[in-house]
Structure 1
Amino acid sequence: MAPFDQTSTARALPDIAADGRPALAGALDWVGMGRIEMPVSLQADDGRVVTSPAKVDAFVNLRREDARGIHMSRLYLHVDRMLSAEPVTPAGLRRLLKDFLESHAGLSDRALLRLQFDHLVRRKALASDNSGWKAYPVTLTAVMERGHFALELGLQVQYSSTCPCSAALARQLIQQQFSADFAAGLLDREAVLAWLGSEQGIVATPHAQRSIAEVKLRLVPAFADIPIVGFIDRIEAALKTPVQTAVKRVDEQAFALLNGQNLMFCEDAARRVQQALDVDERIADFLVRVAHQESLHPHDAVAVASKGVAGGYSTLPDGLVPR
């Protein structure tokens, strides 16, 4: 038997996408692959490279109405080479999108890449010497259109929210219980202290819930890196009550204090994040959606805020706010 000639066989393989014609002609907004499994690496603040499993979307448009399809394998190979070779940076994403378009010359003039992954960050406990890992869902979306490069970072941050109304109602009940338990006249300090530390004295507590801040940041592409942890830190510092990892009793008490000092409605939380992001020069536009997953109700309390850029996120319909 004659030896297998891979080169000559490859030349003979049919290429229906390139040689065929569509039964129906028409330009297409986007064509590509969704949820490709790839690793993604990022440079951490301390110089380490952190690698996470990611789902990757890679797309170009198909502007030639008579073309049967695009070259999907080329997109895959470009993504694989870039993500395997270097940490993700704005410059690297820009080069990758240019590769998409150069490999589809005559077919496409728009390219898109979306990376979705959980970024693990080690967080210190509030008061003890312990620490633990916290995963932050991240979405990076890069678009190249007619030579213009745009980069968007999506983040989710979990925090605790204690209802100010509920806290006021609880304080009123505690006042009523105090009035019932202590008659008018001189009070015994030790008896009052003991009462304050008892379930009989603190008869009511405000309701609190795990809450989520979803943020879309349209980044200024001139910056060399994507400081994901820096943006997360800015959001958590504004909210002041991020959920914790390793927790001993001393940490739980410190967390209770933070919640008591930072009572907030969803409107308060949205404004806190809005103010923190508005002064960051790396952000051209932003959209914030906070959801307090109520323990009182079977529904969420939601507030949305934006930077207010003309033609920016604030013009989006309700269905396109961060989810």
Structure 2
Amino acid sequence: MNTYCSSHALMPDIATTDRATIPTALDWVGMSGLALPFQLLESQRGPIACQGSADIHVDIAKPEVKGIHMSRLYLLLESLVEEAPLAPDTLCEFLHRQLSSHGEISLAAGLAIRFQYLSRRAALKSKHRGWKSYPAAIHAELRGGRPSVELELAIPYSSTCPCSASLSRQLLTEALDDDFAGRTRLTMDEMRQWLLSQGSLATPHSQRSWARLRLRLAADAPAFAVEAIIETVESALGTPVQTAVKREDEQAFARLNGSNLMFCEDAARRIKQALTAQAAIDDFWIRVEHQESLHAHDAVAVATAGVSGGYRPELST
């Protein structure tokens, strides 16, 4: 035992004993891509088991300091996920512990956790349900003594182009005029048979689309309201992508897309209006992407809450 302690005491730590050869402060130093099983405290579902990857870091505020104690950050992160499910308030408390572990050299601490959030969604008509995966991330930062917690969430949906729908209706009208030239009256049965015989003269183009959100949450929130946010955004958009689908569900989905035409600008405005009404969200950044089936490029729109000092209207964050 004494031999071990003696040899352990002789182990050099040049990262903290040597001085930096180029004396300058560094914004962030730490570790990225750490495998992390954890529990997320969701406001409706309670603790949820998740798997993700984490980035953890502090700054070096003293220019002469060579490096940080990375093992301290690693062990702190391990203790965090073993103690309790993650929530905004527990993350804020953890940031103070993280900063204290390097209080002699650091003024800021940051933590990011990326994972897939799984939610069980009901079919449109049938009684089936299925799991849907939402790419998600949590960003927590302590700077100037003030903690902040952000939830990043990507929500897929379907969008149908209003312009192509209008052009499709025009083609159907022209075909009707050609096939019944000179006729002034048609019976309901004739019209029904004609419609059934036409197939699809033209199909409005739809595409899988994404709403990418960054939400600043109340730092004292006791849980993450992920389900409520998903419900809010999917309700505003009207055509979320589906999981379990029978024929009646597919027909209902086609009906929704046909009656819910939208450009990317429409989608961004709908989400902005819906999130503005959420008191638990202090600030937000929205990017919608319509991954076009007509074009080889995407149509995008960005909106922010417009909070003073908040998110900037950039195309990406």
TM-score normalised according to structure 2 size: 0.95
Residue 133 (structure 2) aligns with? 135
* Equivalent runs, 1:230-269 vs 2, <5 Å: 230-269=228-267
Q: Higher relative contact order by CA 8 Å / sep ≥ 6: 1 or 2? A: 2
The CA distance in 1 between the partners of 2:44 and 2:4, in whole Å, is 47
The CA distance in 2 between the partners of 1:120 and 1:145, in whole Å, is 31
Is 1:191 paired with 2:190? yes
* 8 A Cα contact 2:29 2:68, kept in partner: yes
Q: Match of 1:193, as an amino acid? A: R
Residue 165 (structure 2) aligns with? 167
* 8 A Cα contact 2:44 2:225, kept in partner: no
The CA distance in 2 between the partners of 1:221 and 1:215, in whole Å, is 18
* 8 A Cα contact 2:168 2:203, kept in partner: yes
1:197-218 alpha-carbon deviations (Å, 9 max, x no partner): 23x2541110000001101111
* Equivalent runs, 1:4-83 vs 2, <5 Å: 5-83=3-81
Correspondent of 2:107 among 103, 109, 115: 109
* 8 A Cα contact 1:174 1:201, kept in partner: no
Report the 3-state secondary structure (helix = DSSP H, G, I; strand = E; otherwise coil) of the residue aligned with 2:24. Answer: coil
The CA distance in 1 between the partners of 2:93 and 2:103, in whole Å, is 15
1:121-172 alpha-carbon deviations (Å, 9 max, x no partner): 1111111111111110111100101210111111100000000010000001
The CA distance in 2 between the partners of 1:48 and 1:276, in whole Å, is 24
Q: Percent identity?
A: 46
Residue 212 (structure 1) aligns with? 210
| C-alpha displacement of 1:4 | 7.8
The CA distance in 2 between the partners of 1:257 and 1:112, in whole Å, is 46
* 8 A Cα contact 2:44 2:227, kept in partner: no
| Distance change (3 Å), C-alpha of 1:129 and 1:17 | same
* 8 A Cα contact 1:178 1:201, kept in partner: no
Residue segments in structure 2 that go unaligned for 5+ positions in a row:
none
Residue 156 (structure 1) aligns with? 154
Aligned residues: 316
Residue segments in structure 1 that go unaligned for 5+ positions in a row:
none
The CA distance in 1 between the partners of 2:295 and 2:302, in whole Å, is 19
TM-score normalised according to structure 1 size: 0.94
Cα RMSD, aligned residues only: 1.5
The CA distance in 2 between the partners of 1:45 and 1:69, in whole Å, is 39
Correspondent of 2:290 among 289, 292, 295: 292
